[in-house]
Amino acid sequence: MTTQQAASAGTDAITLEIVKNALGSIADEMALVVLRTAYSPIVRDSMDFSTAVFDRAGRVIAQGLTLPIHLGAFPAAMNNVIERFGASGKPGDIYIMNDPYTSGGMHLPDVYLIQPVFYASRIEGYVATIVHHADVGGMAPGSMAIGATEIYQEGLRIPLMKLFDAGEVNAALVLLLETNSRMPGQLRGDLRAQVASCKAGERGLVQLLVKYGAEGFGRLVDALHDYAERVTRQAIAAMPNGEYRYEDFIDGLGDTPVPIAFRVTVTVADDVVRIDWTGTDAQVQGAINGPFATTQSVAYAAVRCAIGVDVPNCEGFSRPVEVFAESGSIVNPVEPAACAARGIIAYRMFDVLQGAFAQIVPDTIPALGEGGPSVVSISGRRLASEGGGNWLITDGVLGSWGGGRNDGCEGIANPLGNLSNQPVELIEARLPLKITEYGFVADSGGAGQHRGGLAMRRAYELLGEEALLGLRSDRRVHRPSGSHGGLSGSPSLNLLSRHGGSRLLPTMPSQVSALQKGDRFCHIAAGGAGHGDPLSRAPDAVREDVLDERISERMAREVYGVVFDGASRAVDEARTVEMRRVLQTSSTAERVAKQEALFLQSTGVDAAIAGEFQR
């Protein structure tokens, strides 16, 4: 195709579909490059990264099938890139940043690499990656210290600057990054993976520019934005107009936590959705504040779930979505608020938006899940005889969905985070840790016509001499809420055992815990909530859950009202009808209390801890 032919390229539906899929393939190829070449387990195994492609104006035109929590992560960053480097960019430039307050980042471990793409001596687009680096310094290994009170304690802040200048690497900057990281080898390797990913994205985007020409490609991109906007507006217009409110809470920080409130008003006005966080609590003296880029990302992800149609991952989708949060709130903090562990509030915002959209499209939104992945961080230093050096694991424990049209699933990442549980074999091969438990907890999914997903349980034994343990978890007091008469999910637990005795740790301790050789830490994440009245669940489905050891016979009888006939475990229909008639007279609070008691029994915690927890 000649340049003149390319300039007159049409924007018919078939061509637009081809370009849309080609852009998506570029972003996905970039993601595969990161996945296959990254060094750190949090990237390679947990898949905590994202990729994106942009047009010449810095607008997102494709995003890889990675983290929804990053859906709104790029606009603010790209605005800064265009303003600072748009006119002066050179082939071979690659920009780097992580700072939320100067450059549009999300939190310091998330390092952005952004590369301009040239065609015919002009910038015609950009490609970018976000990678959660294992450690960028700060007061705690993993750079996510819950107890941090200002961002200066959380690690190295990187304002928007050049990592490569016309193809020449800024070696001084790389040395500075490595020196400030506890895991310099992993940091160096992950940066290289990001660079390789950007190069792959550049090749793919140039191929499209060669095929359609700069002007033809520009028209196609404009049409793609307009198409995404049109489809989104049509889906919003099908929703009932009105204001819909919902609130939920994080349990709080430290040993004496104070609940933190999240309140949203979702307004549907014809073909526009407005998401307003007015009334949400103020920013806190801890690392869980969420910069506004996070708040935007959560909003876009929730809207995509609610509209239930296939929309291109481009900026046009976001045009009918308006997001507001008061400055100084926990969802729009001001400098120097700490934000390294902001993931926990992102998942809570998503839960709150799910609760609001469930009032708008009740058949689409399931009951709430576990509230996002818990994060277990264990770190230490090898003895000189073992080669020395730091070791670190930042392990996400996920996930349990709430019930909806079907039972909630287990072992699948929260809808906001397309992450993965790290393989046991790789953890044990690399680190002085033994995974002593990994699986589901019986009687933990919220009871319902469609029950919630079972809680995940993971336990670690320290084989080394000493280590530090950091935690980010939630949903112990404020549990996942049931829907349409379903019961809430089970609470989370953090259990530290030493010399045969155990103690219950807070959900988000402000300080790390010192571990000794032989200590065991067990985390039990929250279970998903139920959907629909448990007494409406098909008796045969209850029986299958008992046979699969998902629930106990006591749970079947005392919560679901299903009674079995002897050792055969056949459903006794007459006694089941009678038991369900009796249970119908009990209150929801009584059913939840019974479910909780059975859950605690299934966990095997001793009476003292069960009593402490229930108090």
Instruction: Look at residue 98 and give its three-state secondary structure.
Output: coil
Banded model confidence at residue 608, pLDDT cuts 50, 70, 90: low
607 band by pLDDT with thresholds 50, 70 and 90: low
pLDDT greater than 90 at residue 21: yes
pLDDT at res. 174: 97
Q: What is the mean pLDDT of residues 575-586?
A: 95
> 370 and 223 in one domain?
no
pLDDT interval class at 563 (50, 70, 90): very high
In a domain, 566, yes or no: no
Give the Cα separation of 454 and 442 in Å (integer): 7
What percent of the chain stands above pLDDT 90? 87
The CA distance from 192 to 91, in Å, is 18
What would the mean pLDDT of 50-58 be, rounded to a whole number? Answer: 96
Please report whether residue 102 resides in a domain.
yes
pLDDT value of position 9: 47
**Residue 334 falls inside a structural domain:** no
Instruction: Note whether residue 407 is domain-resident.
Output: yes
pLDDT for 420 beyond 90: no
What b/e readout covers 477-491, taking b as 16+ CB neighbours within 10 angstroms? ebbbbbbbbbbbbbb
381 compared with 399, residue with greater pLDDT: 381
Q: Identify the pLDDT of residue 508.
A: 95
Whether the pLDDT of residue 548 is over 60: the answer is yes
- Asked whether residue 500 carries a pLDDT value surpassing 90, the answer given is no
pLDDT at 11 over 80: no
**pLDDT on residue 501:** 87
Mean pLDDT over the full length of the chain = 93
pLDDT-based confidence at residue 233 (cuts at 50, 70, 90): very high
- Looking at the predicted structure, is the pLDDT value of residue 226 above 70? yes
Domain that holds residue 25: 3-231
| 310 assigned to some structural domain | no
Residue 418, CA distances (Å) to 43, 68, 373, 604 in order: 12, 7, 10, 31
Residue 313 belongs to some domain of the structure: no
Percent of the chain whose predicted confidence (pLDDT) is above 70: 97
Give the whole-angstrom CA distance, residue 380 versus residue 312: 44
Number of domain units in the chain: 2
- Does any domain span residue 505? yes
pLDDT at 178: 97
Q: What is the pLDDT of residue 613?
A: 63
State pLDDT tens for residues 172-223: 999 999 999 999 999 999 999 999 999 999 999 999 999 999 999 999 999 9
| Residue that is last in its domain, among 486, 511, 532 | 532
Q: Establish how many alpha carbons lie within 13 A of residue 273's alpha carbon, considering only the half-sphere containing its beta carbon.
A: 31
Q: Say what the pLDDT of residue 66 is.
A: 83
- Final residue of a domain: which of 231, 257, 288? 231
Asked if the model's pLDDT at residue 8 lies above 60, the reply is no
Model confidence at 6, pLDDT cuts 50, 70, 90, reads: very low
What integer pLDDT is reported at residue 390 of this predicted model? 94
Query: Alpha-carbon distance 13 to 446, whole Å?
Result: 45
**Whether the predicted pLDDT of 515 surpasses 90:** yes
For 89-129, the pLDDT digits (tens) are 999 999 999 999 999 999 999 999 999 999 999 999 999 99
More confident residue, 535 or 363: 535
CB 490 within 8 Å of CB 455: yes
**Can you tell me the mean pLDDT for 3-16?**
61
Structure confidence at residue 10 (pLDDT): 58
Q: What is the pLDDT, as a whole number, of residue 2?
A: 36
pLDDT at residue 524, as a whole number: 96
Lowest mean pLDDT among 7-16, 125-134, 182-191, 409-418: 7-16
List all residues 6 or more positions away from 171 whose beta carbon is below 8 Å from its beta carbon: none
Is a pLDDT exceeding 60 seen at residue 7?
A: no
Residue 106: HSE in the Cβ half-sphere, 13 Å Cα cutoff: 29
pLDDT digits (tens, 9 = 90+) for 62-78: 998 888 888 788 988 99
- In this predicted structure, the answer to whether residue 168 has a pLDDT above a threshold of 90 is yes
Is residue 379, in this structure, part of any structural domain at all?
yes
pLDDT at 612: 65
The residue out of 532, 566, 583 marking a domain boundary is 532
Tokens coding 67 = 């983290």
Rounded to a whole number, what is the largest CA-CA distance in the chain?
A: 82
pLDDT tens digits, residue range 296-340?
A: 999 999 999 999 898 998 999 999 999 999 999 999 999 999 999
**Per-position DSSP letters for 409-451, written without gaps between them:** PEEE--TT----PPPHHHHHHHSSEEEEEEEEETT-SPPSSBP
